[in-house]
Amino acid sequence: MAELLVDSRWPWPMMLVRPTPMPERPVYPWPAGKIPHTQLRATALDVLRSDSSLGIHVVASRKDELNHVFAQIDGGHAEYTGRAEGTDFPFEAKLFARAEKLPRPDALDEWIEVLHELVVLLDAPNAVIFARPDERHVWSLLYGTGSRRPDQPADHPHNQNARIATGRRTLGSTWIRPPEWGTYLAPAVVERVGRAKLASAAAVTREVGKLLYVQCSVKAADALSAEALERRRALEGLLAPITQPQS
């Protein structure tokens, strides 16, 4: 995992490492200041291996306007799931990359390959890649913030978050997240819906470990295009019977 968190395919280099404290354990000493790239992997690996750390947060900058990429991985310790009610899947991963002022034209497409490898490494049962024109919506979806909005459509971030919160323990087994620009689906889901139907609705389909990955445009640069949105709506319709319902 440490290799992926400092991989050169991230659009911007990571600079800072922040441990996630493990409850009732000594606090892991935070690495101070920017970490030289040559030491970044070793620092991340030490945090991940520590009994005092529940997870890791790796960022590009302390300043929000410069923090174009980040990764936050929590869980993975068998004795602590991170949630009082427990969960079948101990890891929770949040990753972020801005699409503006990319250092390379295909930087996001390269970064998505890192996401694929991380999904396999974490043995994720279900995962999505959000693409939104409003960054505030991305933050809301990543962190599950906001109250339900009856005056907004079902795919408004606050309404999605309310749905996920009611069924987090069965997410990936009984239910899946609403499909997004990129969506990872378990074999049971694919069998139930039909691979051919999913392939017809998506612009890209490929195997990622044991999961089927469907993507709504060939290139990340077109993630917000009308065609990509139309494909996402088609996937929403196909997957509606197993998408976490509104409670």
Helix residue ranges, H only, the chain: 2-5, 37-49, 107-122, 135-143, 157-166, 187-193, 195-201, 226-239
State the pLDDT confidence band at 163, using cuts at 50, 70 and 90: low
Domain presence at residue 111: no
pLDDT at residue 185 greater than cutoff 60? yes
Same domain, 87 and 134: no
Domain presence at residue 236: yes
State the pLDDT confidence band at 170, using cuts at 50, 70 and 90: low
Same domain, 96 and 10: yes
Domain presence at residue 117: no
Q: Identify the domain containing residue 17 by its residue range.
A: 1-102
Domain presence at residue 112: no
Domain presence at residue 108: no
Select the more confidently predicted residue: 122 or 209: 209
- Nearest 5°: phi and psi at 204? -135, 135
Same domain, 136 and 246: yes
Q: Work out the mean pLDDT of the chain and round it to a whole number.
A: 85
Per the CB < 8 A criterion, the answer to whether 112 and 129 are in contact is: yes
Same domain, 135 and 247: yes
How many domains in the chain? 2
Domain presence at residue 24: yes
Domain presence at residue 241: yes
Same domain, 95 and 129: no
Same domain, 15 and 71: yes
Same domain, 60 and 135: no
Domain presence at residue 115: no
- Nearest 5°: phi and psi at 80? -145, 115
Tell me the CA distances in angstroms from 131 to 76, 80, 225, one per residue in order.
Answer: 27, 32, 10
Tell me the CA distances in angstroms from 92 to 51, 83, 89, 109, 242, one per residue in order.
Answer: 18, 11, 8, 22, 21
State the pLDDT confidence band at 208, using cuts at 50, 70 and 90: very high
Interatomic CA distance for residues 77 and 101, integer angstroms: 37
End-to-end CA distance of the chain: 36
In the three-class reduction of DSSP (H, G, I as helix; E, B as strand; rest coil), residue 53 is classed as strand
The label of the residue with tokens 């919506």 reads 137
Same domain, 227 and 184: yes
pLDDT at residue 246 greater than cutoff 60? no
Same domain, 63 and 148: no
